[in-house]
C-alpha cells in the first residue's frame, strides 16, 4: 500500500470509528458489536504504525493517552468562565425570578438543567477539529488539559462545523467508575478519593494521560463560550445544536414558563436524584432567550440571567465510640469508625471507613467524639468533621499501631503509599482473608464454604492455605459444630466440583495484585493454561489488550515466587483444572446472538446462577450490566423480577425468560 492509498484507508477508518464511538458513548445506541469496533481500531493502529506521518491529534487512536507531560500550560479564556450565584430555598428562586422580571419588564422563559457535580471545562474546535481543552481555573485563566480530555470517549475529536467554536461542559466520573477506582485504591494501600467530583478533577489533572484514560470519565456539554458564527436565538436551541453536532448533552432539561414550574422541576429531582448513575448537586436555571441574557448582563462574579439551586447536603450527627482495625488480604491495615446507629440518605449507618492514619490526624478524630457524617457521593459513609464544642475532655486520641494487630509483625509504609501494611506472608488475617476471597462467588464459587465456615475451619486449624481446602477430611469435619453428615457431604461435593472450574476463576481466586475478575478472564482466554501464563514475560503480557504495565509487572512478580509455583504444582496434583475451558478466541462466533449486546439480568434464576449466566453471555461477546437504560438491548428476567422488569417494559426493551436464555446458549 502506498502513501495515498493509506491516507484514503485511514480517512475511511477514522470516519467509521468516530461514528461507532458517537453511537456508543453519546447516543447509547451502538450499531455494531464491540469486537467489530476493536477490529477496525486494530486496522487503524496497524496502518498508522506503518505510516506514522499520517497520525493526527484527532485520530481515534490518540484517545488512549500519550506520553506524560511535565506541567500544564496556562490558558487565557477569551470569554470568562464565570461561576453562578447560588439559591438554597424556594424563596431564593422566587427572588431570582423577581429580579429577572424587573430587569426585563417582559415575559421570560427559563431552561432548567441538572447541575452535574464534576469539573467545568471548555473545549475549542477549529476547522472542525478539537484543538484545546482547559479547566475553568479562576474564570479568566485555566490550565490546558487537552491530552487528558482527549481520553474521554464522549468528546468528539471532529465535528461537522468548520467555524471556530468554544463549548463548555462538565466532566464527571460516573458512580460505577468512582466505586471501582476507590476499591482499587484501598486494595493498593492508596488514599481513596472523597467523592466523584474530586476523583474527576484529580483524573483530569494527571500529568500522565494514560492514567486519565483508565478512569472512565464522561462529560455533558451545556453551553457555548465563543462562537462568532452563532446566530441561534435561545439557550434551548443551542443545546439542540450541540446535540446535532455530536456533543453529549444531558437529556434531563426542561423549558419552564413560570417560576412555579421551575420549583416543580427542582422538587422532582430532589426525589429522583438517587436514580441517576452520576452525581448532581443541584439544578441550574437560565433565562432561555439570548437577547434577554444580554440585556440582563453580569455582575462582577456571575451572570444575572442564571442561578444554581444547590441541594442541601444530608448529614447526621452521631457518636464515634471506637475505632476498629482490619487487615486485608494484601496486608493493608484499615481503621474503621464504629458509630452509634444513625440514618443517612435513607439507610442506617453504623460504620465508616477512616481510610488511614493521615486522615484521622487531619480531621483530629478521637474515640468518644461527636461527629458529623454523610455519604460521600451519596454512596460511602464518611466522617465529615468533629464537633469540637461537644468534647468533654474524656475523648481519647487514636494512634495506629506499629505492629500488625493480627500477627504482631512490624507494619511498614511502602514508598508512595499512605497506608500501613503488614508484609508477613504468614499473617493469619491475610491468610484468612485470602481463603475467603478464594472461595467467593466470583472466584472458585464453592457453595457452602462462606466466610463464617472459613473462619471456623481456620480457627480449628483445618485450613491455612488454599491447598488445605482440597485436603479436608470428612471425619474431621463431622467433629465440628453445626456440621452434620448431609452438610459435610454437600460441602465436600462442592469442593470437588470446584476443581473443574475454568482457569479464570482460579486466577482471580489466587488474589494476584491488580488482577480483577475481568482481567483474569482476559489472561485465561489469551494464555489458555496457567503454565503458559507463568512463563510469560513483561513484554508478552503488555501485548495483551487491556493488560497494562502495572498489572503485567504484578503477574510476573507473583509467578516469580518459588512458593507460588509450589502452590500451583500442588493444586494440579490435587486435581484442580488449570486450563481455560470457556470459548477460546479462535472459536468465538462473531455472529453470536449476544455479540455486542448490552444485557441485564434480574429476578431469581433457577437454571443458572447469576454469575454463570453472566459468564456464558460474556464469553459469547455480550456485555452484562446492572441497570436498565436506553442502552440495554435485552433483559433476562427470572422469577420475582421487580423494578428492572418494569423499566424495561417502559423503555420497550426486549425481555426473555430464563428458558429462552438456555435455548439460546444451547444453540
Q: What DSSP state is assigned to residue 303?
A: B
Contact in structure between 199 and 214 (CB atoms under 8 Å): no
Q: Determine the Cα–Cα distance for residues 254 and 274; give it in Å rounded to an integer.
A: 19
Alpha-carbon distance of 400 to 396, in angstroms, equals: 13
DSSP label of 192 = P
Q: Which among 587, 661, 585 is positioned nearest to 617, based on CA atoms?
A: 661
Give the residue among 278, 122, 114, 311 at the shortest CA–CA distance from 196: 278
Residue 219 grid coordinates: 462529560
Decide if 566 contacts 589 (C-beta within 8 A): no
- Asked if residues 246 and 26 have their Cβ atoms less than 8 Å apart, the reply is yes
Catalytic residue among 40, 115, 248, 614: 115
- Whose grid coordinates read 469496533? 37
**Nearest one of 114, 118, 115, 116 to 254, comparing CA atoms:** 114
What are phi and psi for residue 124, nearest 5 degrees? -110, 135
Dihedral (CA of 466, 470, 471, 472) sign: positive
**Distance, CA of 422 to CA of 402 (rounded, Å):** 10
User: What residue has cell string 464459587?
Assistant: 445
Sequence-ordered list of residues with C-beta below 8 angstroms from that of 618, at least 6 positions apart, any chain: 521, 624
Active site residue 74: no
Catalytic center residues: 115
Amino acid at each position: 500500500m502506498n502513501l495515498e492509498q493509506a491516507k484514503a484507508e485511514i480517512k475511511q477508518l477514522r470516519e467509521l470509528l468516530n461514528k461507532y464511538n458517537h453511537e456508543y458513548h453519546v447516543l447509547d445506541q451502538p450499531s455494531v458489536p464491540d469486537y467489530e469496533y476493536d477490529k477496525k481500531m486494530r486496522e487503524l493502529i496497524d496502518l498508522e504504525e506503518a505510516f506514522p506521518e499520517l497520525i493526527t491529534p484527532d485520530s481515534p487512536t490518540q484517545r488512549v493517552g500519550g506520553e506524560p507531560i511535565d506541567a500544564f500550560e496556562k490558558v487565557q479564556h477569551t470569554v470568562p468562565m464565570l461561576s453562578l450565584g447560588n439559591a438554597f430555598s424556594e424563596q431564593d428562586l422566587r427572588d431570582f425570578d423577581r429580579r429577572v422580571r424587573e430587569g426585563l419588564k417582559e415575559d421570560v422563559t427559563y431552561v432548567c438543567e441538572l447541575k452535574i457535580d464534576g469539573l467545568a471545562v471548555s473545549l475549542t474546535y477549529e476547522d472542525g477539529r478539537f484543538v484545546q481543552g482547559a479547566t475553568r481555573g479562576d474564570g479568566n485563566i485555566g490550565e490546558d488539559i487537552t491530552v487528558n480530555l482527549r481520553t474521554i470517549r464522549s468528546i468528539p475529536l471532529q465535528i461537522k462545523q468548520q467555524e471556530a467554536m468554544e463549548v463548555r461542559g462538565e466532566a464527571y466520573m460516573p458512580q460505577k467508575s468512582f466505586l471501582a477506582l476507590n476499591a482499587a485504591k484501598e486494595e493498593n494501600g492508596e488514599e481513596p478519593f472523597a467523592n466523584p467530583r474530586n476523583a474527576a478533577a484529580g483524573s483530569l489533572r494527571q500529568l500522565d494521560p494514560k492514567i486519565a484514560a483508565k478512569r472512565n470519565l464522561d462529560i455533558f456539554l451545556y453551553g457555548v463560550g465563543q462562537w462568532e458564527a452563532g446566530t441561534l436565538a435561545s439557550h434551548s436551541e443551542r443545546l439542540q445544536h450541540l446535540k446535532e453536532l455530536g456533543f453529549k448533552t444531558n437529556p434531563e432539561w426542561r423549558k419552564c414558563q413560570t417560576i412555579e414550574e421551575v420549583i416543580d422541576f427542582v422538587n422532582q429531582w430532589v426525589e429522583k436524584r438517587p436514580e441517576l448513575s452520576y452525581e448532581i448537586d443541584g439544578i441550574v436555571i437560565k433565562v432561555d432567550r439570548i437577547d434577554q441574557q444580554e440585556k440582563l448582563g453580569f455582575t462582577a462574579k456571575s451572570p444575572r440571567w442564571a442561578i444554581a439551586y444547590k441541594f442541601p447536603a444530608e448529614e447526621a450527627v452521631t457518636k464515634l465510640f471506637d475505632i476498629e482495625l482490619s487487615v486485608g488480604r494484601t496486608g493493608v491495615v484499615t481503621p474503621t469508625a464504629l458509630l452509634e446507629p444513625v440514618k443517612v440518605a435513607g439507610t442506617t449507618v453504623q460504620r465508616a471507613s477512616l481510610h488511614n492514619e493521615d486522615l484521622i490526624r487531619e480531621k483530629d478524630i478521637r474515640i468518644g467524639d461527636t461527629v458529623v457524617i454523610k455519604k460521600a457521593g451519596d454512596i460511602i459513609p464518611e466522617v465529615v468533621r468533629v464537633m469540637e464544642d461537644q468534647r468533654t475532655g474524656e475523648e481519647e486520641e487514636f494512634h495506629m499501631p506499629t505492629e500488625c494487630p493480627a500477627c504482631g509483625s512490624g507494619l511498614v509504609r511502602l514508598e508512595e503509599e499512605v497506608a500501613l501494611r503488614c508484609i508477613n506472608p504468614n499473617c493469619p488475617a491475610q491468610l484468612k482473608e485470602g481463603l475467603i476471597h478464594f472461595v467467593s462467588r466470583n472466584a472458585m464459587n464453592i457453595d457452602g464454604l462462606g466466610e463464617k465456615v472459613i473462619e471456623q475451619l481456620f480457627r480449628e486449624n483445618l485450613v491455612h492455605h488454599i491447598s488445605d481446602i482440597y485436603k479436608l477430611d470428612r471425619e474431621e469435619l463431622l467433629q465440628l459444630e453445626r456440621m452434620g453428615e448431609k452438610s459435610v457431604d454437600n460441602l465436600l461435593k462442592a469442593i470437588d466440583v470446584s476443581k473443574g472450574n475454568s482457569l479464570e476463576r482460579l486466577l482471580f481466586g489466587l488474589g494476584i495484585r491488580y488482577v480483577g475478575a475481568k482481567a483474569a478472564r482476559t489472561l485465561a482466554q489469551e494464555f489458555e493454561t496457567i503454565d503458559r501464563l507463568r512463563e510469560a514475560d513483561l513484554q508478552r503480557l503488555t501485548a495483551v489488550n487491556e493488560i497494562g504495565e502495572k498489572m503485567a509487572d504484578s503477574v510476573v512478580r507473583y509467578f516469580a515466587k518459588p512458593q507460588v509455583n509450589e502452590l500451583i504444582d500442588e493444586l494440579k496434583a490435587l486435581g484442580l483444572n488449570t486450563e481455560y475451558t470457556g470459548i477460546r478466541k479462535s472459536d468465538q462466533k462473531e455472529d453470536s446472538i449476544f455479540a455486542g449486546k448490552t444485557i441485564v439480568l434480574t429476578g431469581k434464576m433457577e437454571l443458572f446462577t447469576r454469575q454463570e449466566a453472566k459468564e456464558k453471555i460474556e464469553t459469547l461477546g455480550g456485555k452484562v450490566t446492572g441497570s436498565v437504560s436506553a442502552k440495554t438491548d435485552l433483559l433476562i428476567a427470572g422469577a420475582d423480577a421487580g423494578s428492572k422488569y418494569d423499566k424495561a417494559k417502559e423503555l420497550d426493551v426486549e425481555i426473555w425468560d430464563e428458558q429462552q436464555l438456555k435455548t439460546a446458549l444451547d444453540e
